[in-house]
Chain A
Amino acid sequence: MSSNLLKTPKDRGRAGDKIFSGVSLGAGILILVILFSVAMFLVVQASPVFTADPETVTGGEGFAAYIFPIVVGTVIAAAIALLIATPVGILVALFISHYAPRRLARIFGYVVDLLAAIPSVIYGAWGYLVLAPQMSTIFTWLAENLGWIPIFAGPASQTGKTILTAGIVLAVMVIPIITSLSREIFLQTPNLHEEAALAMGATRWEMVRMAVLPFARPGIVSATMLGLGRALGETMAVALVLSPGLLSASLISSGNQTIAAEIALNFPEAFGLRLSELIAAGLVLFVITLIVNMIARLIISRSKEFSGAN
């Protein structure tokens, strides 16, 4: 009887262990299967474009000539968004986790989470109703005073619907994502590390730099990647804000286009080869994300030693 009591939980435990690890392994494999089928779907649907007569592809010069400008446009928009959102997002996260009075911090954290949830259509509508008119005056000023820098070359857009405005809208959308994740990670910094730093006479910034940031670095990179994913793949906001056009270096005149917006704008009326083109554009976006993530992986792998579970 007593031996039974001792034995049963042990056996059940072992079975539980097996089941649990099996199920979690299964979940991981399922994700790979899903991703693989999405990729297959993309490749199959996109394939007609690669074999088609170059003259029948939009623009008349083949798929590469068609996709190149919008790839550059996508990268520009995402780069602007991340250049603004990453530092601001991390600083805001720091503010909430280490600088703001504790009671306020809870509320701020809550507001930021909320902002991550505003649908992109709303950000888009805000972008072209509220932000773009404001930006057009700034653009005119930039074109007049800093026009000699290629990215500020005139003529400035009168409607303010440019790639820079789109980039800012994307940044506004991405900030809550970066902030929300970074904040959670900053809060998890071991208290002992922080207190040790402070006890040795470090200022608050030195404590953050020596204890918090190294601990959170992989997490920050992850958060940024998540934000980048949204910035690259965002459709509706860009489609509403940007007045697309040919590739141009100037950020303040209308022009440029992103892949996701190109798909959203043309998809409803597309059929046949055009549809394949758009799906191929989606495939390209997929590949861009792949490359960017590889780079991010390299950065993270250098700071692996800070993971708590290694």
Chain B
Amino acid sequence: MKALRIGRAAAVVSVAALALTACGSDNATGETPAGSGAASTAAGTAVSGTLTGIGASSQNSAMEAWRTGFQNLNSDAMVQYSPDGSGAGREAFLAGGAQFAGSDAYLDEDEMEQAMEVCGPDGAIDIPAYISPIAIAFNLEGVEKMNLDAPTIAQIFKGEITTWNDPAIADQNPDAELPDTPITVVHRSDESGTTENFTEYLAAAAAEDWTDEASGTWPEAYLSENAKGTSGVVQTVTATDGAITYADASAVGELGTVNVKVGEEYTELSPEAAARAVEVATPVEDRPEMDMALELERDTTESGAYPVVLISYHIYCTTYDSQETVDLVKAFGSYVISEEGQAEAEASTGSAPLSESLREQAQMSIDSIEVAS
């Protein structure tokens, strides 16, 4: 009797489990992947194996595009990426838990030294992979574009300018009809690369007004309304009249955006303008030969450059243990910075493609990766 009961229960459970897991497929698009079998990559050889990366969530959407594109070209290879965050990514990479890291900041000196332990004497290299302009977005009825210089932006985000018809704003926008709506500043509640890049811009371009150092968390002195994640701040601003925030340009949707004053003119937000700003960036000093860490000139006067930009890096080792891994890393790294890879990311996420010269440089760095001797 008892056995019968247990048997019955087990039967019910197993039937349910079977029904649930009967059939499913990994082919979500309903197409056969193009080029499967006939593998050819920028590196020129067919590669296989699993490549593991951990890092910034900012480049997660772009990573989806790269993975898909790369795996279509190399059907035997698999790339997995966990968007745990830049800090977690670098930590895992330095502990040997991932073959590459995605990070909104390049490795600092301490981390470079740690990298020598896992990567060999030459340490690791930072390759810029994903460039995303940061929009200063606002929700103000009837206004879609606005011209602002850096000091004004700093004063707004410090809470010193409190209404939209403040003379400081009105002087720069003689044509716009500005209401007396109070300004609600919305910032990120979580620590993020977006906040770090935005405050870095303010600290450099409006040094007199923004005296705080650049940091991934919003300075405590200027706390106001805030929300978690890019989608959180955008949602909050969309729901609140008179609100302003900073967010990845691709996510701001219908919100109005600020044209930032660079030199003598106001630069409109665009992928090209962002790419221009990265092009005029200078390499960070005292770095290993092949490292490509970039110092953005936030206070640049270069016309047509949009200096509020987030650069997300891929961090690779200079040496790996096996030839297979080296091939895989090289193939993937080359694909990401290739014209095709950058175009895929742009189509998916609205990021700014790397310029021709940066891509050449990055290719050289990636080519230098080799098997540990």
Touch between A and B in complex, CB under 8 Å? yes
- Inter-chain contacts of B224 with A (CB < 8 A): 245, 254
Q: Are A254 and B225 in contact (CB under 8 A)?
A: yes
For B57, list chain A residues within 8 Å (CB).
Answer: 268
Q: List 22 A-B contacts (CB under 8 A).
A: A58-B217, A59-B220, A128-B227, A128-B235, A133-B239, A158-B225, A159-B240, A239-B228, A242-B189, A243-B226, A243-B227, A255-B223, A265-B189, A265-B190, A265-B191, A266-B190, A268-B84, A269-B85, A269-B88, A269-B190, A269-B192, A274-B87
Q: What residues make up the interface of A, taking CB atoms closer than 8 Å to B?
A: 58-59, 128, 133, 157-159, 161, 239-240, 242-246, 254-255, 264-271, 274-275
The answer to whether A268 touches B86 (Cβ under 8 A) is yes
Which of B191, B193, B220, B240 is in CB contact (< 8 Å) with A158? Answer: B240
B91 contacts A275, C-beta separation under 8 Å: yes
Beyond A244-B226, A265-B189, A265-B228, 6 additional pairs, beta carbon < 8 A: A161-B227, A254-B224, A267-B88, A268-B84, A269-B88, A270-B88
How far is A275 from B224 in the complex, measured between Cα atoms in Å? 25
In the assembled complex, B232 has its CB within 8 A of some CB on chain A: yes
Cβ–Cβ contact B225 & A266, under 8 A: no
Give bound CA distance, A273 to B225, whole Å: 27
- Nearest CB in chain A: distance from B347 CB, A: 27
Which of A240, A243, A275 is most buried by chain B, counting CB atoms within 10 A of its CB?
A: A243
B236 CB within 8 Å of chain A? yes
Q: Across the interface, do A268 and B85 meet the contact criterion of CB distance under 8 Å?
A: yes
Instruction: Decide: B228 and A240 in contact? CB cutoff 8 A.
Output: yes
Which residue numbers of B lie inside 8 Å of A, CB to CB?
57, 84-88, 90-91, 184, 189-193, 216-217, 220, 223-228, 232, 235-236, 239-240
Once the chains bind, are B227 and A266 in contact (CB under 8 Å)? Answer: no
Q: B214 to chain A: closest CB distance in Å?
A: 14
Rounded to whole Å, the gap between the CB of A245 and the closest CB of chain B is 5
Tally of contacts, chain A with chain B, CB under 8 A:
76
B227 cross-chain contacts in A, Cβ below 8 A? 128, 161, 243
Contact partner, A270, options B189, B191, B240, Cβ 8 Å: B191
- Closest chain A residue to B86, Cβ basis: A269
The prevalent SS among residues of A at the interface is loop
Nearest CB of chain A from residue B193's CB, rounded to whole Å: 7
Assess the A266–B184 pair: CB atoms within 8 A.
no
Residues from chain A with a CB closer than 8 A to the CB of B217 are 58, 266
- Determine if A157 and B85 form an interchain contact, defined as CB atoms under 8 angstroms apart: no
Look across to chain B and name the residue whose beta carbon is closest to the beta carbon of A257.
B189
Complex contacts, B192 vs chain A, CB 8 Å: 269
The chain B residue with its CB closest to the CB of A255 is: B223
Cβ B87 vs Cβ A269 within 8 A:
yes
Closest beta carbon of chain A to B49's beta carbon, Å: 27
Contacts of B220 in A (CB 8 A): 59, 246
Given contacts A158-B240, A266-B191, contact A245 B223 (CB under 8 A): yes
- Beta-carbon contact of B189 and A269 below 8 Å: no
User: Given contacts A267-B88, A268-B85, A269-B87, are A240 and B191 in contact (CB under 8 A)?
Assistant: no
- Please tell me if the beta carbons of A269 and B228 are within 8 angstroms of each other in the complex: no
Docked Cα-Cα span, A264 to B192, in Å, equals: 12
In the docked arrangement, what's the CA distance between A245 and B217, Å?
12
Do B226 and A268 have beta carbons less than 8 Å apart? no
Q: Smallest Cβ distance from A159 to chain B, in angstroms?
A: 6
Known: A244-B189, A268-B191. A161 touches B88 (CB 8 A): no
CA distance A271 to B91 in the complex (A): 7
Q: CA–CA, A59 to B220, complex, Å? A: 8
Within 8 Å CB of A274, what residues of B?
Answer: 87
Residue in A closest to B55 when the chains form the complex, CB atoms: A268
A159 near B223 (CB under 8 angstroms)?
no
| Chain B residues, CB < 8 A from A269 | 85-88, 190-193, 216
Closest 3 CB pairs of A and B: A268-B85, A265-B190, A271-B87
A268 to B88, CA, bound (A): 6
A245: chain B residues at CB < 8 Å are: 223-224, 226
Q: Please, how many angstroms separate the alpha-carbon atoms of A52 and B261 in the complex?
A: 42
Nearest residue, chain A, Cβ from B223: A245
Given A245-B223, A254-B225, A267-B85, A159:B239 Cβ within 8 A: yes
Whole-angstrom distance between the alpha carbons of A255 and B88 in the complex?
A: 27
CB distance from B200 to the nearest CB of A (A): 15
Q: Which of B189, B217, B223, B232 gathers the greatest number of chain A CB atoms within 10 Å? A: B189
Q: Which B-chain residue is minimally distant from A58 (CB atoms)?
A: B217
Q: Closest residue of chain B to A265, judged by CB? A: B190
**Contact (A246, B223) CB under 8 Å given A267-B88, A269-B85:** yes
CB distance from B84 to the nearest CB of A (A): 6
Measured between alpha carbons, how far is A244 from B225 in the docked complex, in Å?
8
CA distance A240 to B228 in the complex (A): 6
Contact indicator B225/A159 (Cβ below 8 Å) = yes
CA separation between A255 and B220, bound complex, in Å? 11
Residues of A within 8 A of B189 (CB): 239, 242-244, 265
Complexed CA–CA distance, A166 and B84 (Å): 25
Q: Report B13 CB to chain A, min CB distance, Å.
A: 18
Give Cα A270 to B235, complex, Å.
Answer: 25
> Would you give the shortest CB distance from A275 to chain B, in whole angstroms?
7
Q: How far is the CA of A275 from the CA of B91 in the complex (A)?
A: 10
> Which residues of A are found within 8 Å of B190, using beta-carbon distances?
239, 264-266, 268-269
